[in-house]
Structure 1
Amino acid sequence: MDKRELAGFLRSRRERISPADIGLPAGPRRRTPGLRREEVAQLAFISTEYYTRLEQARAPRPSREVLAGLTRALRLTDAERDHLHHLAGTPPGPPPGPSREVRPSLLDLLRRLPQAAALVLSATYEVIAWNDLAAALLEDFSALSRRDRNLVRRAFLGPRPDGRRLYGLSDADTFAHTMAQNLRATAARYPDDPEVTGLVDELLAGSAEFAGVWASHGVRAEPTLCKTLHHPLVGPVHVNCDVLDVTDRDQRVVIYTAAPGSPSEEALRLLAVVGTQRMEVSG
């Protein structure tokens, strides 16, 4: 345990959080930047005396429970959480579960891509953010429950509107198997997360196809860079597919674009105008 480094790290993290971040008024008599020690202690569910001793490099080694409380109270990133554990002389355990929090900069990126369909997937293939064109091209995810926004569940357990698997993707079967293989790696990273284990158990019980892929211990296939989606309004849309890994959140950004000047680009332009509305043609 490096008491002096731990003390300095805690102090620096405390001072960067404003009272407004946790819903407190700044107050005219606040003499310290950021939060007060007693406020951090209250948020971490520890005594003010013990937290004060931590910042004074006089406290004994904190338990994992205390470190978890400090991580939550100080709003640490995963990297900062690991650093806190190392300073305390307690190796960090596995992350508690896949992150569903999308960075504001990524949300802004989705909005800045009006001619591309873009979405963010969690480590369990839950759609956790999307832009308007992605909703028009694939599905209005805002109308779905969180459970139904999970693509690996949709791939193996349905529903399949009009008999189409995964929005009529040309490589739907390959993509489904890739998701199953990647989900095994996710389960290894988060062995104690009930949502991950529950999802795997549900898929094993409900899909013989998933159970077969799971049992094969297959290696991740090469990604398909060009796909065709069969949209009920505009027909086949040929797109390039690029995937950006957000390693610190264990997330993926998926971006669909069409070749400039192609009929598929015109189809995406039409969908950008129509949005998630359905065009009915009267007889």
Structure 2
Amino acid sequence: MNRDELAEFLRVRRARVTPADVGLPAGGTRRTPGLRRQEVAQLAGMSIDYYIRLEQGRGPHPSRQVLNAVARALMLGQDERAHLFHLAGQPMDPPRIREDVPQSMLHLIAFLDDVPAYVLDARYDLRAWNPMATTIMGNLDCLAPDQRNVLRWIFMSPDIRLHFDDEEKGAFARASVADLRAAAGRYPGDRRIQALVAELLALSPEFAELWGRHEVQVRREQRKRIHHPVVGTIDTICQVMPVPDRDDLRLVLYTTEPGSPSHRALRELRQHTLSS
């Protein structure tokens, strides 16, 4: 159980729920945004003292019943609820991140001639990719293994703005940080996730600001507009799908609408890659 992280998560989420959101009267001037502690306790059906101890990082290990009640009171979404349970030590035996990519998945991405595709682990380390992925992210084969990390690319690479404008890069960064926080909750003992977070907190003010929001959301689909120096703008749908029997691995596909200018741009990009 990570008491400090749990306490901070509860405080941040409480500040984002207004009385109107849960059907309570505003009740005059409030010194802090969001709900009062006693209002959360009332909504969750627990004593105010018990809830205060949770927010102060002390008190007993909360049961699943208590966690469910708090999640309802704070209007947590599915991913946020799962994160709350992980922070509170549920399940007690956290899973281990595996790094082996199934052979069937390697075959699949190799056959996707027109689609940039790669496999990510929970730390955002790239585990496998096809030639089209390198046209979007650069020559991954020339990078050292510790440099093949999408979060380092987002927050530390000087070339990132060659691929995305500020708005697109900001949306990509926010979604990725929220996903990483969910992963940190799922794998609380993973030292490489902890080291990555510590590194980015020290080196990237943008990452530190986003990490401090305590947003939690597993990535599933996101639209991206990519600016490529050879073929121009490509509007894609970034599909993120779990690898079967590998909960810690995700397959990422950059797809386009068939017959669209972006689809033609990807095909042109493939021809350019084959001829270069």
Bin of the TM-score, shorter chain as denominator length: 0.5 to 0.7
- Contact kept in structure 2, 1:139 and 1:276, CA below 8 Å: no
- Contact kept in structure 1, 2:117 and 2:132, CA below 8 Å: yes
**What amino acid maps onto 1:139 in structure 2?**
G
TM-superposed CA distance for 1:252, in Å, is 1.1
| Number of the residue aligned with 1:263 | 261
Equivalent positions of 1:148-227 (< 5 A) are 148-156=147-155, 158-161=156-159, 164=161, 167-168=163-164, 171-220=168-217, 225-227=222-224
TM-superposed CA distance for 1:127, in Å, is 1.4
- Contact kept in structure 1, 2:119 and 2:251, CA below 8 Å: yes
> Structure 2, unaligned stretches of length 5 or more?
1-90
Distance 1:181 1:276 in 2: 36
Distance 2:129 2:117 in 1: 6
TM-superposed CA distance for 1:178, in Å, is 1.6
Moved beyond 4 Å, runs of 4+: 221-224
Distance 1:182 1:222, change over 3 A: closer
Equivalent positions of 1:240-279 (< 5 A) are 240-246=237-243, 248-249=245-246, 250-275=248-273
| Number of the residue aligned with 1:93 | 93
> Structure 1, unaligned stretches of length 5 or more?
1-90, 279-283
Alignment length (residue pairs)? 184
**What amino acid maps onto 2:259 in structure 1?**
G
Q: What do the CA deviations read for 1:185-241 (whole angstroms, capped 9, x no partner)?
A: 222222222211111110111122212222221132876543211011111112222
Distance 1:277 1:195, change over 3 A: farther
Q: What do the CA deviations read for 1:54-78 (whole angstroms, capped 9, x no partner)?
A: xxxxxxxxxxxxxxxxxxxxxxxxx
Distance 1:113 1:221 in 2: 25
TM-superposed CA distance for 1:92, in Å, is 8.0
Q: CA RMSD in A?
A: 2.5
Distance 1:276 1:220, change over 3 A: farther
Bigger radius of gyration, 1 or 2? 1
1:129 pairs with 2:96: no
Distance 1:117 1:253 in 2: 11
Distance 2:215 2:267 in 1: 39
**What amino acid maps onto 2:209 in structure 1?**
G
